[in-house]
Structure 1
Amino acid sequence: MSSKFETILIIDFGGQYTQLIGRRIREANVYTEIVPFSISLEKLKAQQPKGIVLSGGPSSVYETGAPVCDPAILKLGIPILGICYGMQLIGKEFGGRVESAAQREYGSRSLESVRPSCLLDGMRRVWMSHGDRILEAPPGFEVTARTDTTIAAMEDPVRKVFGVQFHPEVTHTENGEALLRRFVFDVCRCRGDWTVGSFIETAVDRIRNQIGNGRALCAISGGVDSTVAATLVSRAIGDGLVGVFVDTGLLRKNEYEKVLSMLKDNLHLNIHGIDASERFLNMLTGVTDPEKKRKLIGNEFIRVFEEEAQRIGSVDFLVQGTLYPDVIESVSVKGPSQTIKSH
């Protein structure tokens, strides 16, 4: 998607609000991707971002093993906004003085303007959550705002590198969304043309170009994830998509028939309905552990799906209806995290 739309990349350092930063920017109709701090310089440059946001994070920049991106990323000439840990990282990498505070600062603070800034107009109350703090801004940077305890914002207007110690993405910060929009539109010069309509058009074109005259197979549950994925592929290749909808016996009364009718009659999908309810219910008899149930259901579903795929015959592509939240729940900034639930 980023090949067509202007992109803001958010480099994730493990902050609790990283996903919220992405949401705020996407709400401004700007395409945004969250990438791990370990992203290579080459991969980042290939994305051709209009701007980069460095997220917050729980670490100290001086901590052993603290997350650090390739320093060359910060010198590409691409506009950068560092938030909390991201600002501290900018301070350290550009030659400022950063120290670990004796006590973490957490909560609402009054913001005092030190000098005019293109990002900070109207900012009065901000939300802090940090341990490290900037003692001295790096060479070329101007301090633009303070609280009663710390430097709260700094910028290098020539290199278009900005840092804020507070979190503009949270609702506790007054006019925080306006700050993010100013960075995206006034500094990065994004157009804000990433809409649902343009996304669908681009996605269908990409799918059509990739599959061509081939066939694709998709497991459809009737939920949002797989149904949207199947509908997009169907718009691109028509009956070249073959959908498989399995009745596991775990749906509500008459739901299998209603969903199958909706997929066929309303969405006009080429769909195969499989009643495997007896297999699933027999398998789950006596099982009470939720995670064990999920794994048993998942494994049995794969077997049913594979059996039907053999009957369908040769296909060229498998359509996977995985949504962004599935990725968030299963993976952390440093790789596999403690599982919230299996997917």
Structure 2
Amino acid sequence: MKNQLVLVLDFGGQYNQLIARRVRECGVYCEVIRYTTPLKEIAARKPAGIIFTGGPNSVYDEKSPHISKEIFEMGIPILGICYGCQLMAYTLGGTVTTCTTSEYGKTETIYDKSSALFQNEELPAQAISWMSHTDYISQAPEGFTVTAHTENCPVAAMECPERKLYAVQFHPEVNHTQYGLTMLDGFLKKVCGCTGDWTMGNYAKTAIADIRKKVGDGRVLLALSGGVDSSVCAALLSRAVGKKLTCIFVDHGFLRKNEGDEVEAAFADKDINFIRVNAKAAFMEKLSGVSDPETKRKTIGEEFIRAFERESKKLGTVDFLAQGTIYPDVIESGTGDAAVIKSHHNVGGLPDYVDFKEIIEPLRLLFKDEV
């Protein structure tokens, strides 16, 4: 069976998560990875396709993210978006030039309906795309065909089907681009050969089996906040390991009115080991005089871990720490050249020393609605 994985290489674009989410909407499993990921590692995962994200940089800036030409020789279908489109052109010998007239926003775009990206009957020969660029491709690389253009952008899309290389200057992942999801679907199904039958339906079954195998006879300590992520994580862990799981709810004193009592009421009467730690005083002391938001997050993250360690020592040996980390937490905490939107306490706040064998994060690759 053909691998149904598609990898999104992040070149610093603000829409990296959205691209991955749109690919999953097409029924294809997708992950975001750094553009600096070694090509051997990418090849080992045998992806059905690769997507280059956009980004705010210019390909002519030495400090901008670039990639080895070898990736285009791997035989893996590639779709370049915005900066990813320009990078493909530049790396393969095309010409990228500063725009006389920059394009930003909704733009009338003319499509070549013979392209695999634009063949869908619903997609007209002319429609609105969302542009955001100050450079543009003035000449496509040798062997490429121009498949879309606008009034000010002569190469709004290009392709070399023989090498399975495709690129669009606009953003098909945003709602402002008409039929954008249809274009992505065309790349995934017609070019990459994906079947589009990946769903969340069997995820719980797989996750439970993986947890059970990893934990074995060990014991698990879950950081339970009472929110959706940690609660779903608790449900998966409970089904997987039963009473080997202990959920610790750290009430740090910053919750909504009566929320601590509501969390306790929701979990205390279930067939689950539940412990509430009233730690308001300890958190207040640690945060006294701290005003920087990042420092606060990391201070809270470390205090969470310390609270878990103190509680776990009362329980005896606990082998695994579980967390309800989800995919946006991981991505937003920074991937190479991408801007750090925020460090998440499940990702950026872990101290160097953690007294557990391993961290278990069964939701780490899921978006919020998938959780």
Calculate the TM-score normalised by the size of structure 1.
0.89
Distance 1:19 1:316, change over 3 A: same
Distance 1:102 1:63, change over 3 A: farther
Equivalence for 1:15: 13
Equivalence for 1:186: 190
Q: 2-side partners of 1:302 and 1:75: how far apart?
A: 46
Equivalence for 1:101: 99
Q: Which amino acid aligns with 1:166?
A: F
Task: Within 5 Å, give how 1:1-343 maps onto structure 2.
Answer: 6-114=4-112, 116-121=114-119, 122-123=123-124, 124-149=127-152, 150-266=154-270, 268-280=271-283, 283=285, 289=291, 291=293, 294=297, 297-334=300-337, 337-338=339-340, 340=342, 343=345
Contact 2:226/2:263, CA 8 A, preserved across alignment? yes
The Cα shift of 1:70 comes to 2.7
Q: 1-side partners of 2:113 and 2:25: how far apart?
A: 29
Distance 1:277 1:106, change over 3 A: closer
Contact 1:329/1:339, CA 8 A, preserved across alignment? yes
Q: 2-side partners of 1:339 and 1:186: how far apart?
A: 35
Contact 2:69/2:92, CA 8 A, preserved across alignment? no
Q: State the secondary structure of the residue aligned to 1:304.
A: helix
Q: 2-side partners of 1:176 and 1:339: how far apart?
A: 26
Q: 2-side partners of 1:299 and 1:111: how far apart?
A: 51
Q: 1-side partners of 2:226 and 2:290: how far apart?
A: 25
Q: 2-side partners of 1:95 and 1:250: how far apart?
A: 56
Distance 1:221 1:114, change over 3 A: closer
Q: State the secondary structure of the residue aligned to 2:84.
A: helix
Q: State the secondary structure of the residue aligned to 2:55.
A: coil
Q: 2-side partners of 1:106 and 1:285: how far apart?
A: 43
Unaligned stretches of 5+ in structure 2? 346-371
Contact 2:99/2:136, CA 8 A, preserved across alignment? yes
Q: 1-side partners of 2:18 and 2:188: how far apart?
A: 15
Q: Which moved more, 1:188-197 or 1:82-91?
A: 188-197
Deviations 1:239-268 (A, max 9, x none): 1122211223333444323312322435x3
Figure out how many residues of one structure are paired with residues of the other and give that number: 338
Moved over 6 A (4+): none
Deviations 1:247-291 (A, max 9, x none): 23333444323312322435x33222223345445x379758373
Q: State the secondary structure of the residue aligned to 1:197.
A: coil
Deviations 1:208-240 (A, max 9, x none): 221222212122111122222222222211111
Q: Which amino acid aligns with 2:13?
A: G
Q: 2-side partners of 1:84 and 1:286: how far apart?
A: 45
Q: 1-side partners of 2:343 and 2:28: how far apart?
A: 30
Contact 2:112/2:118, CA 8 A, preserved across alignment? no
Deviations 1:84-123 (A, max 9, x none): 1111111122222222324432222222234621212415
Contact 2:117/2:183, CA 8 A, preserved across alignment? yes
Contact 2:333/2:344, CA 8 A, preserved across alignment? yes
Q: Which amino acid aligns with 1:161?
A: L
Q: State the secondary structure of the residue aligned to 1:246.
A: strand
Contact 2:4/2:28, CA 8 A, preserved across alignment? yes
The Cα shift of 1:206 comes to 1.5
Quote the RMSD (CA, aligned, Å).
2.5
Q: Which moved more, 1:121-130 or 1:95-104?
A: 95-104
Contact 1:115/1:145, CA 8 A, preserved across alignment? no
Equivalence for 2:361: none
Q: State the secondary structure of the residue aligned to 2:206.
A: helix
Q: State the secondary structure of the residue aligned to 2:202.
A: helix
Deviations 1:275-308 (A, max 9, x none): 3345445x37975837365555444433322211
